[in-house]
Amino acid sequence: MIGEVLQVGDKVVINIHDENWNWGYRPVKEQKGTVAEVTGFSEITHSRVQNLGREPGVYVNHCWVYLKGIENSIGSFNLELQDEEEYKRRVKEWREDKTQKKKIRDLPEMKFWEGDVANVNWGATRSPWKDEVEYKVARINYEYLDQKRNDGSPMPEYTITPASGGCGEVAVNESTMTLISRGNVWKYFNGEKVVFSDLNEEASFFSGLGHTDEVRNPANNLYSWTLEEVIQAVRDGIVDWLSVGNSLFSGELRHDAKRFRDRELGERVRQATIEGFKDLEKK
């Protein structure tokens, strides 16, 4: 949290955690007590998909902080604001501030977007998928842009997967790719009609764009539900969709409940979810 309230010009105390220090992470000579001045922050890119609901663009990444006289950024979890009372004041103000973070600039222009289909010139190498000739862009590697390999060649700008639905991913350079067709992400943002094979693909697409809201469980005011609770919430029209995963700390199954902002789509998904529960009950 401290990164969210730090400002350029602040004096912070650097205290490297024992685990990191013992692993060899030593950005300063002394493990604890070094005082330095904040000069800036790193950046983070939120793409058009899997963007945590934020508008696509480049944002300030408060988790990594640049300090005067230190070459690389340092994780904010290793820092403490020197003025403790000012820190408490800022934290209180931050918790009361409900405004959405604003992007600092648009995404960089890219030749290919997520979901686009392309072929790849593998040169002297062979496709890792043997006879596959069409590939789908799974991810844009924004973190690699403008970076070079040791031999001076550009880092791969994209990660691709077989368009036929095969397993695995490989990072490739834009210079090796030729566009075959645009995917739904490009079509959606450029005003063209998007086409889906079924409701699941449609729901996954708009969920990936961040067009859903996670719903709090009224029983505990948390985002965690039991399976029975979330099933009833779907039947009651409070929730449209649920996802299941492991809790980060306990390892127990966690049920997350989502509601689509587009209520026409949300109702179709909710009815399909109810039908899915009925099928499970029959087994």
- Residue range 73-114, pLDDT digits in tens: 999 999 999 999 999 999 999 888 867 778 999 999 999 999
Closest CA to 157 of 147, 169, 168: 147
How far apart, in Å, do the first and last CA atoms of the chain sit? 47
CB 138, CB 114: distance < 8 Å? yes
Per-residue pLDDT averaged across 144-167, rounded? 91
Task: Report pLDDT for 261.
Answer: 95
Q: What is the pLDDT of residue 47?
A: 94
| pLDDT, tens digit (0-9, with 9 covering 90-100), for 18-51 | 999 999 999 999 999 999 999 999 999 999 998 8
pLDDT in tens, 180-196: 999 999 999 999 999 99
Q: Residue range 8-27: average pLDDT?
A: 94
